[in-house]
Amino acid sequence: MILLDKDTRALVQGITGKQGSFHTKQMLDYNTNIVAGVTPGKGGQELYGVPVYDSIEQAASNEDLNTSIIFVPAPFAKDAAFESIKHMDLVIIITEHIPVHDSMQIMEYANRKGKTVIGPNTPGIISPGIGKLGIMPTHIFEPGNVGVISRSGTLTYEIASQLTNAGIGQSTCLGIGGDPVIGTKYTEILQKFEDDPDTDKIVLIGEIGGNAEEKAAKYIEENITKPVVGFIAGLTAPPGKRMGHAGAIIEEDSGTALSKIKAFNDVGVEVAKRPSEIVNLLNKV
């Protein structure tokens, strides 16, 4: 597994909010090591046995922490992310609708500090049987040796469910986020899967918009020895119309599903026409 393992000691930012409290309960039920929570003004409380602090500064001086997951509303997410990046090695930003300018500043700061950010607008990460930091429905995942990386939460669930039903377990499933500006890219996760002894095969789920998949294809050709199969959502999407994610928009000829599929095919990566074909492709490689 990658990024999330038994050494993860996580803090939830926005733990007492509606989303934060709901998903904290789910993460704890899946045995994730949630050590603390932060909500300004709610310090001294407890939620499901997890101590709540007013700030990350306070939490970090009282608890041994290395990871933060952010459920803070978009207008306040930048400040929350900056605070996290200062103290944590891994920061997962679930929040959607963060202004692009804020995201750019978050990533610039994370790069300067040498920290890993996943998201924003991500479903998070799950290492089946170990824990999850995010909003994934746990019952569809099964421990195994296929790594899944995606821009889309819903497609992650759809394809993980197909894999599990076919008896194929997953090492780690991770959503990099559907916004135009995100932290960790496909290429970085591909390399982590390449280096991970628990991962034998990789499923890459892409979608229209941007050139992240084309870059991933080039990276696979030059750096990845493990078998990779793909799926690209949005084959029938009209140009100039945003599809679901802020980053899923075709501009002129770039970012189309066909250009992405061609990039993968050119480097020997087979791409499924529909999610239900992934299992067959995996069994073939």
**CATH number, domain with residue 51:** 3.40.50.720
Indicate which residue of 23, 97, 139, 245 is catalytic: 245
For residue 46, report the phi and psi dihedrals to the nearest 5 degrees: -130, 145
Rounded to an integer, what is the distance from CA 112 to the centroid of its chain? 21
Q: Do the domain assignments include residue 123?
A: no
pTM of the model: 0.94
Mean pLDDT, range 130-145, rounded to an integer? 96
Predicted confidence (pLDDT) per residue in 234-278, tens digit: 887 777 666 677 666 676 666 888 999 999 999 999 999 999 999
Residue 175: CATH number of its domain: 3.40.50.261
* Structural domain ending residue among the three candidates 118, 148, 179: 118
Mean pLDDT, range 77-85, rounded to an integer? 97
171 shares a domain with 35: no
Q: What pLDDT band is residue 230 in, cutting at 50, 70 and 90?
A: very high
Q: Do the domain assignments include residue 128?
A: no
Share of the chain above pLDDT 70, in %: 95
Write down the pLDDT at residue 236.
77
Mean pLDDT, range 194-205, rounded to an integer? 98
The structural domain count of the chain equals 2
Establish whether 87 is a catalytic residue.
no
161 shares a domain with 275: yes
143 shares a domain with 191: yes
Domain that holds residue 196: 137-284
